[in-house]
Amino acid sequence: MAERVDYAQLTIRQRVVVRVPAAPMTIIPPRMQWKDKKGPRCVAMGDIAGAAVIAPRSVDLILRGGTRLRAQFARSCPALDYYSGFYVLPTADGQLCADRDAVRARSGGECEIERFRMLMPAK
């Protein structure tokens, strides 16, 4: 007689949210002027040390080592400056990419990243 074999299926789902602290505009030195250049298509999420909400259509990302990138959104994202900070959902490749990823406001809104611009101090 054949032995009966029972099978079971187990699905594990995990969701990780990365919270990026944003500095209010008052912390950014008012006299500091920036010029922007073409930026990378993607940035490693582990390199993001902080952020500053500077305008309704962009956020400045401060990377480890002091480099600054401006993430420009496809449209206005006014919900970001209401709460301090925003969320970025991790991706399989660990990168935050323009024309692919979005930042999420703590209020629930979503802002798609259109492009990155490299910021350099103006002379």
What pLDDT, in 10s, does the model give residues 23-48?
555 555 556 788 999 999 999 998 99
Asked if residue 122 lies in contact with residue 33, where contact means CB atoms within 8 angstroms, the answer is yes
Its pTM stands at 0.70
Residues of the chain with pLDDT > 70: what percent?
Answer: 72
What is the DSSP secondary-structure string of 18-74? Answer: EEE-EE-GGGS-TT--EEEEE--SEEEGGGEEEEEEEETTEEEEEETTS-EEEEEES
What pLDDT, in 10s, does the model give residues 53-69?
877 788 899 999 889 99
| β-sheet bridge partners, residue 34 | 121
Domain positions in the chain are: 18-26+33-121
Q: Are strands 22-23 and 48-55 parallel, antiparallel or unpaired?
A: parallel
What pLDDT, in 10s, does the model give residues 98-110?
999 998 887 778 8
Asked if residue 54 lies in contact with residue 60, where contact means CB atoms within 8 angstroms, the answer is yes
> What is the rounded distance in angstroms from the CA atom of residue 65 to the CA atom of residue 80?
25
> What is the rounded distance in angstroms from the CA atom of residue 116 to the CA atom of residue 122?
18
